[in-house]
Structure formats: structure tokens, C-alpha cells
């Protein structure tokens, strides 16, 4: 239930209506207790996954209470709120709930913010200024579902959506039993060694980006531009619904290890699609968020970090849980996947947008026991290096710097490379960091994997202020003696750094941008547009690209034979306004409202695929299409690159020329991190489809009204293709 | 000495001729008009398409174009100037439109030196408002072919 803002002119509209508002604050609101009670269940079923059960917001979804609620809604009317929610939410499934469900949800949100239920039911035409009935102060009893003794109890079935079950209601998740639900044993499993991780077997895809260098490149060469047209579906598997699909099918010795929604891990025979074991670790997810991007393998174990901020070690042969360690407590979570280095499993942390005592960090755990070995604080604490770059904010108000993409590793330098997200709330005007850098946000970090000690950092955008992450993949490439690390973020700037020292080596724009007035090509220093530097809360600022990127979590592929980095890009813009934030633990969030528009100069083409030569930083080839890409790119020794898009197309392109040589259409948006592997000498290709996916799926969901996708169910599925036998 | 001074005069005269706006070549601009979209509650109203071409002659920008496919009658066509492409700015002029859900666009405005600088940075936009989208239904930023 995000995007609770409206156009800039709303304030004027609301003011003009002001005289008609009859209710004074403290009077009974325009809804009944029955609606509030039903609305609580409807909110939990349809909204809480994004906006959190306590209305505190999370990720892209702003808080629906406190200062953020007031700055977005206080001057507007309940009719406008209902109009917005009923036409915009749930995101990706807008307008699909029953009319009663929408009025219930609005009633609940208002009551949770202080409005008092009365005798008159809320309708779509109820027109009351929000600030006259709700003050933004959360009402614990409403959140808890405690019906005041004096209030009338809802009649059975009253105000229930069609098909509602009286409690979960609406699109409530079906029952999902947790536990080691399918027990079986992987036969002939061979332990994964350090040497395997350093030099994966050609037929394996052992980790997130296949190799430690983050190439997303396989030397397999059976599928070529000439024969790719013969690809055929070998098997598919319906994955757990709910949440989001952004997964990498990991394959070792012909076994696919698959992370699903609800923190469910499965092992499948990668040749036949037969399920071998399943462990539903939980918790169950209710939102379009919470994808687990990758698992890790080491020796006899498979590792998964989960959406409740835990990390688990499972027996790779049986799926039995061997250990579980708490990283932090929700709303912290982890979705970025894990990596294994020298017997340690490393993970980042998400959900750091909400103010907390513990802040945000990268941490490492013993693969045998799960014991935490070290952690590196990404939001620098007072009195530590970088701690004086937060404009004097107390440590608990230093939000963000999440690490939601797993790192890469150089074994020779024994250095691991991670990207960090921006400080949060998104806009500096909301978070109060003024013109300070807020280390170690939007940075590349080079860490010693044995100790977590920082070797160097490079901050790409000091004091980033528009939700333009630089958190994504760090790709390690050598040119002669030059050891380099490449990364590209939402700005669309491709960065080249010396990975020994962190020295800036180059920058290249890949999409139009209007955020930075100056780009110093010698140092990489960026200078914001003047109005962005002088930003205030509750005012809109143009950002091209917007939070979709540029480049987002859909990772690049380094096609080694051509020295090209093949980059999925998106082209859209936003008007973004930072909201006021309560400066207290549990508040924070991203605190912004976005309005989307097509990127000028693109003819409404939201997707672009570009190959850049990493030695020269020159564009080798590029083309654009209407739908943005929702998978990472993988490329192969056969000279083919694969990518999937919002319009359900899975495409193969000639890696040298960019020419499309094959495509097929799947059941849902093609979304995730494809992989390729070999069994018995035969090459296969795995790709997932489904929903969720954050900004890269949200923006086109609004802008591309002509692109139709299944609205019923999430359609999460893994597809495996191969050449004819 | 006299010969050298004559050269200076000729060169200065040539420079002044080249710099004079009256002798500058006309510059052509164009843009498609995209629906503004914004969010799911407005996207159903903010539909349509259009094309704009513009010619800068001296400081006068002459605009022609057409729009179609609106979901409600057009109410106003405005020229806005921001610092760079994609940043809406204040209104600096209005263009003629017939109203209705399709039609032609025409008009001209005289730009200041600062506004000319914004035009060269892609900062000039044409915005069509309509009854259901009074804060922008279609918009596009003028660009030369080289941009």
C-alpha cells in the first residue's frame, strides 16, 4: 500500500475543500468499528507485507503512521485517500480487491492513526479532512485488534470481502505448514571444497554469480547463436507463491538447490525436475518482497539467510537443519544471499531503514557451527572511522547502508568486495544528514574476509539523496597487471576502480541522467543539481533515472571472450518528495513519495541492453525495448547471452552483436537470476518467473498499461531448457 | 600598420556578423509527447500521444504539433522551462490548442538569454493539460536531432 502521495496540486485542492469539513479532531470518525475490525484483517492480508504490521513501512513502502503519514495525508481528504488506495493498491494488483475491502482498509488506517469509530459507515464518498479525525499517533489497541468494550462488535460476515474467511479475508495466504516437509537424500553428493569455489567445474553453478569474480559467465559452449533456436522446455516446477522471486538456481553435481518464498529450500534433480527434499524454514511471507537471491554451498552444507534475519546451515544431502543463528531481529531481514569464503559464510543485512540500536552490518559465521565470527558496521558509529560524517545524528538514527546483494571475492588478494545502499530515509532532507557523506553508504567496500577489517572504501555518491543505490554486483576483471572492480548502480554510471587500492579509474554513463550537474571524469566526483542540494521535505524533485535505475538488482554478465560487460538497464524517471520522519527508534523507513514518468528521449522504451568493453569503456552494442528487463544477464562460452523481461519474454542474444537469436514467452514476468549447468555432458538453462521484484517491477506496472500480466496468483515457477536429446 | 588595422576591423566585423542572432541559422527541435502517468490513480486519465516540432529563429521559438487520444478535453498547452531535460519548470508561455481530445498545437514565444541556455540543455518542455489531468496530461522536452 505504498505510493500514498498524490500530485503536487493536492495541497491546493485540499485547502479549497477545507471549509466543508465538519468534524473536529477528537470527534467520532466516519467509519464503524465493524469496518475497522474487518479492515485490520484486510490490511494484514493485503498491505502488511509491504507496509509492515505496525504501519511503519518498509523498503519502498512508506510508513502509514506518524510524521510520514501526516506529511502525506493530513491536508487531504478521506475521499482522496480512498481514491488513491482503491486505484493503486495492492501494488502490482491494483484495484483488484472488493469495494468493501478498500473501505475497510481505509477505515483501519484512519483508526490506527487516531480516528474514533462511530455509527456512520465509511464509503468511497466520505469526504473529511484527514487531520480533523486522525493525528498520526498510533493507537495500540487498534493495531492489536482489541475492540473497545463500548464499541459494537462486528456482525458475523459484516463488511467482509467476497470470499473472505472472516479472519484472514481478502487475499489471505493459504495455510502453509513449516518444517522439514519432504525428506529424501541426494545420492552421490560430493562435498564442495575451497578449490571448487575458486575454480568451479564447468557444469556447476555453485554460487550467486557463478564464480567468486561475479562474472555470471559459464564456459559451457553447447548452446550457440546458431542452435539456440532449438531450445525446448525440459521441465518446470511451480515454486512456493507469495513474496517475490529473485532467485538463483544453484546447481552442483546435477542437483538444483532452490530458495523459494516463505524461506523454503528445496533440492531437485536438475535433469528431471524431481523433488528430493524440502525444508520450509519460514516465516511465511505476505508481501511482494522478501526474495532470497541466492544460497551458498560448502562441504556438505547449504546455507540460506532468511527474511527474519537468521542464517541457517542445512545438510545438503537431506535438507535437515544443522544450525541456525540469529543475525538480527525483524524488521531486519536478509534477502541478498550469502557467500562462502575460507570456511566462513558471509551475509549482508536488509531492513536497516528503520531506526534501530544495532544498525546495519556485514557479518560472517562459522560454516560448521553458525557462530558469528565478525561483523563490519556499514553505518559508521560515533567515534569510529567515518562516524563523524552523519551530521551529528545519534547512532540509532543512522538508517540505511543495507547490503542487499552478496559480495564477490579475490582469492589472490584475499579481499571481498561489497556494495552498500544509501543512507535512509532516502532524501537527506528527511534524514537530517545535510551535506554530509553518511559513510559507508553508497560505497564499494573492500574487506578482509578473515577478520572483517576494512582495507579501503570508495564512496560513489557522498550523501546520496534520491534512492539511487550503488549496492549492486562488484565484478572483478583483470587487464594485464591491472586488477579492477566494476560496478553500476541506479545512476547508470558504470564505475571502474583499482581493486587493490580503491583508486578511481573510470566512469561511463549508460542512460540519460539529470541528477548531477557535473561529473568529473578524472576523479569520479559527482555534483548534484542545485535544487537537489537545497531540497526540503514535502517538495517534489525530478530524478532521471529514478529508483528503478539505471541499473538495479538485475545483474550484469561479464562475457570474457569479448571482454564485454553486458548490462541490463532501465529507463524511467520520478518526481520524488521526502516526507517528515519521527526521529525515534522504530520509525525512519524510506519516507518518500514517488510519481513516475517515462524517461525523456526514450520513446517510452523502458528496457535497454548494453554491452560495454571493459578495457576501453566504449559501448560495443546497445538496443532498447518497451519492457524493462527483470532478470540478470548470463552469458556463455557458446557466445550466447540470456535475459528475461517484464512482458514474460525470455530472450537469447548473440553476445558479440546483441542480435536477438531466440525468445520464448513464459507464464509470468521472467524474473530472477538465470543459471546454466551441465549433466552427463548436456547443457541446460534454468530461469525463474514470478512476481515481486521491487522498483523494477513497480514502475512498469504503472507506466506500461498496455503490457498485461496474470493478476491472479503469483505464478512463481522455475523453467529448465535444453537442446533436443 | 594601416593594413593590419584594416584586418582587425574586417575580422571584428566578421565576428560581429557571425554572432548576430539575426544571421544565425534556424535550429530545429522536436519531441514526442508522452503521457505523464505519475501513479496508478492518475494513469488512467493521463493517456494520449502527440508530436511537437519547434524552430528557433533568433530568440523566437515557434512551436507546432498535434495531440490525440486524451481521455478528456485539453484545457491548456504550456511551455515550461527548467534547468535540464526532465525537470519541469515554471510556465513561460502558452500555445494555442482547440480543446477537445485531439487537435493541433501552435504558437511562438520569445526567449531570454537564460531561457535559450536552458533550451540548449534540453530544459524546455511542452505540457498539455486536460480536464481530468489539470497538472499535466502529456509532456515532452524539446531536443535537437544531435541531442
Inter-chain CB proximity A595 and B40 less than 8 Å: no
Q: Does A573 touch chain B (CB under 8 A)?
A: yes
Q: Does B43 touch chain A (CB under 8 A)?
A: yes
Which triple of cell numbers denotes residue A615? Answer: 578495457
Mutate to test the interface with B, among A519, A544, A600, A626 (most CBs of B within 10 A): A600
Higher pLDDT: A198 or A241? It is A198
Inter-chain CB proximity A514 and B39 less than 8 Å: no
Inter-chain CB proximity B87 and A514 less than 8 Å: yes
Backbone φ and ψ for B18, nearest 5 degrees, come out as: -65, -35
pLDDT level of residue A49 (50, 70, 90 thresholds): confident
Does A656 reside within a domain? no
Higher pLDDT: A600 or B37? It is A600
Q: How far is CA A33 from CA A139, A150, A260, A354, in A?
A: 14, 10, 38, 30
CATH, residue A37: 1.10.760.10
Does A218 reside within a domain? no
Q: Which residues touch A126 (CB under 8 Å, ≥6 apart)?
A: A30, A31, A78, A79, A82
Q: Does A88 touch chain B (CB under 8 A)?
A: yes
* Shortest CA gap A524–chain B (Å): 21
Strand A116-118 with A28-32, pairing: parallel
Q: Give the model's pLDDT for residue A156.
A: 36
Q: Give the model's pLDDT for residue A320.
A: 98
Q: Does A272 touch chain B (CB under 8 A)?
A: no
Inter-chain CB proximity A597 and B44 less than 8 Å: no
For chain A, give the percent of residues with pLDDT over 70. Answer: 91
How much of chain B is helix, strand and coil, in % rounded to 5? Answer: 20, 40, 40
Question: Average pLDDT in the A417-431 region?
Answer: 97
Q: Three-state DSSP class for A81?
A: helix
Number of Cβ within a 10 Å radius of residue B137: 29
Per-residue pLDDT tens digits of chain B, which is 147 residues long: 444 544 554 454 444 444 444 456 899 999 999 999 898 888 889 999 999 999 999 999 999 999 999 999 999 999 999 999 999 999 999 999 999 999 999 999 999 999 999 999 999 999 999 999 999 999 999 999 887
Does A287 reside within a domain? no
The pLDDT of residue A599 is above 80: yes
What is the pLDDT of chain A when averaged over all its residues?
A: 90
Question: Average pLDDT in the A492-521 region?
Answer: 98
Nearest to B40 among A94, A544, A598 (CB): A94
pLDDT level of residue A52 (50, 70, 90 thresholds): confident
Tell me which range, A55-64, A173-182, B122-131, is most confidently predicted by mean pLDDT: B122-131
* CB contacts, 8 Å: A597 with chain B: 34, 36-38, 139
CA distance A50 to A301: 32
pLDDT level of residue A171 (50, 70, 90 thresholds): very low
Q: Does B37 touch chain A (CB under 8 A)?
A: yes
- Whole-model pTM over 0.90: no
Question: Average pLDDT in the A605-630 region?
Answer: 98
pLDDT level of residue A15 (50, 70, 90 thresholds): very low
Does A35 reside within a domain? yes
Q: Give the model's pLDDT for residue B145.
A: 81
Question: Average pLDDT in the A253-274 region?
Answer: 97
CA distance B92 to B116: 12
Higher pLDDT: A88 or B42? It is B42
* CB contacts, 8 Å: B47 with chain A: 705
Q: Which residue of A has its CA nearest to B133?
A: A7
State CA A310 to chain mean position distance.
18
Q: Three-state DSSP class for A24?
A: coil
Mutate to test the interface with A, among B30, B36, B40 (most CBs of A within 10 A): B40
DSSP H stretches of helix in A95-189: 99-112, 140-144
Instruction: Mark which residues 584-613 of A lie under 8 Å from B by CB.
Output: 594-601, 603-604
Q: How far is CA A217 from CA A250, A259, A686, A723, in A?
A: 14, 21, 14, 19
Inter-chain CB proximity B85 and A604 less than 8 Å: no
How much of chain A is helix, strand and coil, in % rounded to 5? Answer: 15, 30, 55
- Estimate the crossing angle of helix A78-88 against helix A10-17, to 10 degrees: 140
Q: How far is CA A715 from CA A19, A233, A310, A343, A691, in A?
A: 48, 17, 27, 36, 7
Q: Give the model's pLDDT for residue A497.
A: 98
The pLDDT of residue A529 is above 80: yes
Higher pLDDT: B121 or A21? It is B121
pLDDT level of residue A285 (50, 70, 90 thresholds): confident
The pLDDT of residue A160 is above 50: no
Does A508 reside within a domain? no
Does A104 reside within a domain? yes
Q: Domain residues for A60?
A: 10-144
CA distance A466 to A385: 25
* CB contacts, 8 Å: A531 with chain B: 83, 87
pLDDT level of residue A12 (50, 70, 90 thresholds): very low
Residue pairs between chains A and B whose CB atoms are closer than 8 Å: 86
B21, burial (CB in 10 Å: exposed 0-12, middle 13-18, buried 19+): exposed
Task: Identify the structural domains of chain B with CATH numbers, from first to last.
Answer: 24-141 (2.60.40)
The pLDDT of residue A146 is above 80: no
The pLDDT of residue A685 is above 50: yes
Inter-chain CB proximity B39 and A530 less than 8 Å: no
Q: Give the model's pLDDT for residue A669.
A: 95
Q: Does B88 touch chain A (CB under 8 A)?
A: yes
Question: Average pLDDT in the A635-646 region?
Answer: 98
* CB contacts, 8 Å: A604 with chain B: 32, 34
> Order of strands across the sheet with A443-447?
A408-410, A415-419, A443-447, A454-459
pLDDT level of residue A89 (50, 70, 90 thresholds): confident
Q: Give the model's pLDDT for residue B23.
A: 56
Q: Give the model's pLDDT for residue B7.
A: 53
Inter-chain CB proximity B83 and A531 less than 8 Å: yes
The pLDDT of residue A151 is above 70: no
Which triple of cell numbers denotes residue A552? Answer: 538495479
Q: Does A539 touch chain B (CB under 8 A)?
A: no
Mutate to test the interface with B, among A2, A514, A543, A575 (most CBs of B within 10 A): A514
The pLDDT of residue A5 is above 70: no
Inter-chain CB proximity B44 and A87 less than 8 Å: yes
Task: State the total domains in chain A.
Answer: 1
Instruction: Go through chain B and tell me how many residues it has.
Output: 147
Task: Pick the closest to residue A610 from A700, A550, A672 (CA basis).
Answer: A550
Does A423 reside within a domain? no
Q: Does B106 touch chain A (CB under 8 A)?
A: no
* CB contacts, 8 Å: A492 with chain B: none
* CB contacts, 8 Å: B37 with chain A: 595-598, 702-703
The pLDDT of residue A326 is above 50: yes
Number of Cβ within a 10 Å radius of residue A26: 12
Q: Give the model's pLDDT for residue A51.
A: 82
* CB contacts, 8 Å: B42 with chain A: 6-7
**Quick one: CA torsion of B60, B64, B69, B71, rounded to 10 degrees?**
40
Task: Pick the closest to residue A428 from A578, A549, A576 (CA basis).
Answer: A578
Nearest to B39 among A3, A600, A601 (CB): A3
Higher pLDDT: A514 or A149? It is A514
* CB contacts, 8 Å: A7 with chain B: 38, 42, 135
CA distance A433 to A377: 18
Task: Pick the closest to residue A590 from A483, A713, A466 (CA basis).
Answer: A466
* CB contacts, 8 Å: B140 with chain A: 600
Amino acid at each position: 500500500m505504498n505510493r500514498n502521495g498524490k500530485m503536487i496540486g493536492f495541497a491546493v485542492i485540499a485547502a479549497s475543500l477545507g471549509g466543508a469539513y465538519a468534524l473536529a479532531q477528537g470527534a467520532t470518525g466516519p467509519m464503524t468499528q465493524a469496518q475497522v475490525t474487518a479492515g485490520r484483517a484486510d490490511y494484514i492480508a493485503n498491505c502488511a507485507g509491504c507496509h509492515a504490521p505496525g504501519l511503519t513501512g518498509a523498503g519502498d513502502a512508506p510508513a502509514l503512521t506518524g510524521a510520514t503519514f501526516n506529511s502525506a495525508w493530513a491536508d487531504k481528504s478521506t475521499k482522496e485517500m480512498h481514491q488513491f488506495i482503491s486505484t493503486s493498491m495492492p501494488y502490482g494488483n491494483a484495484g483488484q480487491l472488493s469495494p468493501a475491502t478498500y473501505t475497510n482498509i481505509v477505515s483501519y488506517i484512519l483508526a490506527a492513526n487516531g480516528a474514533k469509530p462511530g455509527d456512520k459507515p465509511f464509503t468511497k464518498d466520505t469526504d473529511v479532512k484527514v487531520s480533523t479525525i486522525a493525528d498520526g499517533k498510533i493507537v495500540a489497541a487498534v493495531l492489536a485488534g482489541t475492540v473497545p468494550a463500548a464499541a459494537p462488535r462486528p456482525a458475523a460476515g459484516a463488511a467482509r470481502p467476497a470470499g473472505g474467511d472472516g479472519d484472514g479475508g481478502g487475499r489471505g495466504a493459504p495455510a502453509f505448514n513449516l518444517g522439514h516437509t519432504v525428506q529424501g537424500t541426494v545420492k552421490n553428493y560430493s562435498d564442495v571444497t575451497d578449490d571448487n569455489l575458486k575454480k568451479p567445474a564447468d557444469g556447476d553453478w555453485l554460487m550467486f554469480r557463478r564464480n567468486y569474480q561475479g562474472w555470471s559467465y559459464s564456459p559451457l559452449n553447447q548452446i550457440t547463436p546458431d542452435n539456440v533456436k532449438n531450445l525446448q522446455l525440459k521441465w518446470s516446477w511451480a515454486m512456493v507463491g507469495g513474496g517475490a522471486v529473485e532467485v538463483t538456481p544453484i546447481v552442483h553435481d546435477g542437483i538444483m538447490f532452490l530458495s523459494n518464498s516463505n524461506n523454503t529450500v528445496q533440492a531437485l534433480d536438475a535433469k528431471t525436475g524431481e523433488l528430493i527434499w524440502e525444508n520450509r524454514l519460514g516465516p511465511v511471507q505476505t508481501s511482494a518482497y522478501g526474495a532470497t537471491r541466492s544460497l551458498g554451498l560448502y562441504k556438505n552444507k547449504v546455507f540460506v539467510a532468511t527474511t527474519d534475519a537468521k542464517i541457517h546451515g542445512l545438510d545438503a544431502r537431506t535438507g535437515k537443519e544443522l544450525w541456525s543463528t540469529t543475525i538480527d531481529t525483524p524488521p531486519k531481514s536478509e534477502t541478498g544471499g550469502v557467500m562462502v569464503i575460507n570456511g566462513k559464510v558471509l551475509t549482508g543485512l536488509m531492513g536497516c531503514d528503520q531506526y534501530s540500536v544495532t544498525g546495519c552490518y556485514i557479518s560472517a559465521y562459522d560454516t560448521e557451527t553458525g557462530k558469528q565470527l565478525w561483523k563490519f558496521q556499514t553505518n559508521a558509529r560515533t567515534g569510529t572511522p567515518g562516524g563523524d560524517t552523519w551530521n551529528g545524528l545519534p547512532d540509532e538514527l543512522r538508517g540505511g547502508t543495507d547490503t542487499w546483494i552478496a559480495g564477490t571475492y579475490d582469492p589472490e588478494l584475499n579481499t571481498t568486495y561489497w556494495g552498500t545502499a544509501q543512507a535512509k530515509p532516502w532524501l537527506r532532507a528527511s534524514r537530517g544528514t545535510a551535506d554530509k557523506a553518511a559513510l559507508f553508504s553508497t560505497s564499494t567496500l573492500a574487506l578482509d574476509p578473515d577478520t572483517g577489517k576494512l582495507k579501503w572504501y570508495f564512496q560513489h555518491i557522498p550523501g546520496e539523496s534520491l534512492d539511487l543505490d550503488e549496492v549492486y554486483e562488484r565484478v572483478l576483471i583483470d587487464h594485464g597487471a591491472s586488477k579492477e572492480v566494476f560496478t553500476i548502480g541506479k545512476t547508470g554510471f558504470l564505475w571502474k576502480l583499482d581493486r587493490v587500492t580503491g583508486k578511481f579509474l573510470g566512469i561511463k554513463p549508460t542512460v540519460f541522467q539529470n541528477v548531477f550537474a557535473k561529473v568529473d571524469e578524472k576523479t569520479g566526483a559527482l555534483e548534484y543539481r542545485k535544487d537537489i542540494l537545497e531540497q526540503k521535505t514535502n517538495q517534489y524533485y525530478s530524478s532521471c533515472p529514478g529508483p528503478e535505475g539505471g541499473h538495479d538488482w538485475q545483474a550484469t554478465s561479464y562475457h570474457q571472450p569479448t571482454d564485454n560487460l553486458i548490462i541490463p538497464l532501465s529507463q524511467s524517471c520520478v518526481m520524488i518528495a521526502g516526507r517528515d520522519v519521527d526521529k525515534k527508534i522504530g520509525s525512519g523507513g524510506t519516507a518518500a513519495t514517488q510519481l513516475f514518468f517515462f524517461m525523456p528521449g526514450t520513446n517510452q522504451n523502458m528496457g535497454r541492453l548494453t554491452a560495454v568493453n571493459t578495457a576501453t569503456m566504449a559501448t560495443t552494442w546497445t538496443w532498447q525495448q518497451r519492457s524493462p528487463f527483470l532478470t540478470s544477464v548470463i552469458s556463455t562460452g557458446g557466445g550466447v547471452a540470456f535475459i528475461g523481461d517484464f512482458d514474460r519474454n525470455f530472450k537469447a542474444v548473440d553476445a558479440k552483436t546483441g542480435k536477438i537469436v531466440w525468445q520464448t514467452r513464459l507464464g509470468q514476468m521472467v524474473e530472477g537470476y538465470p543459471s546454466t549447468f551441465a549433466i552427463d555432458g548436456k547443457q541446460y538453462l534454468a530461469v525463474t518467473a514470478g512476481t515481486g521484484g521491487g522498483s523494477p517491477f513497480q514502475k512498469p506496472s504503472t507506466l506500461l498499461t498496455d503490457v498485461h500480466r496474470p493478476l491472479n496468483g503469483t505464478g512463481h515457477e522455475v523453467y529448465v531448457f535444453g537442446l533436443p536429446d | 600598420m594601416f593594413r593590419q588595422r584594416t584586418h582587425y576591423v574586417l575580422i571584428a566585423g566578421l565576428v560581429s556578423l557571425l554572432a548576430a542572432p539575426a544571421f544565425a541559422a534556424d535550429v530545429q527541435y522536436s519531441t514526442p509527447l508522452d503521457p505523464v502517468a505519475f501513479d496508478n490513480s492518475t494513469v488512467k486519465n493521463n493517456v494520449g500521444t502527440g508530436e511537437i516540432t519547434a524552430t528557433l529563429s533568433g530568440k523566437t521559438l515557434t512551436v507546432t504539433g498535434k495531440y490525440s487520444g486524451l481521455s478528456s478535453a485539453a484545457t491548456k498547452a504550456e511551455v515550461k522551462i527548467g534547468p535540464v531535460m526532465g525537470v519541469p519548470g515554471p510556465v513561460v508561455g502558452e500555445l494555442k490548442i482547440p480543446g477537445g481530445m485531439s487537435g493541433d498545437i501552435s504558437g511562438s514565444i520569445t526567449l531570454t538569454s537564460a531561457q535559450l541556455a536552458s533550451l540548449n540543455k534540453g530544459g524546455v518542455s511542452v505540457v498539455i493539460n486536460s480536464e481530468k489531468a489539470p497538472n499535466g496530461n502529456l509532456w515532452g522536452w524539446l531536443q535537437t536531432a544531435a541531442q
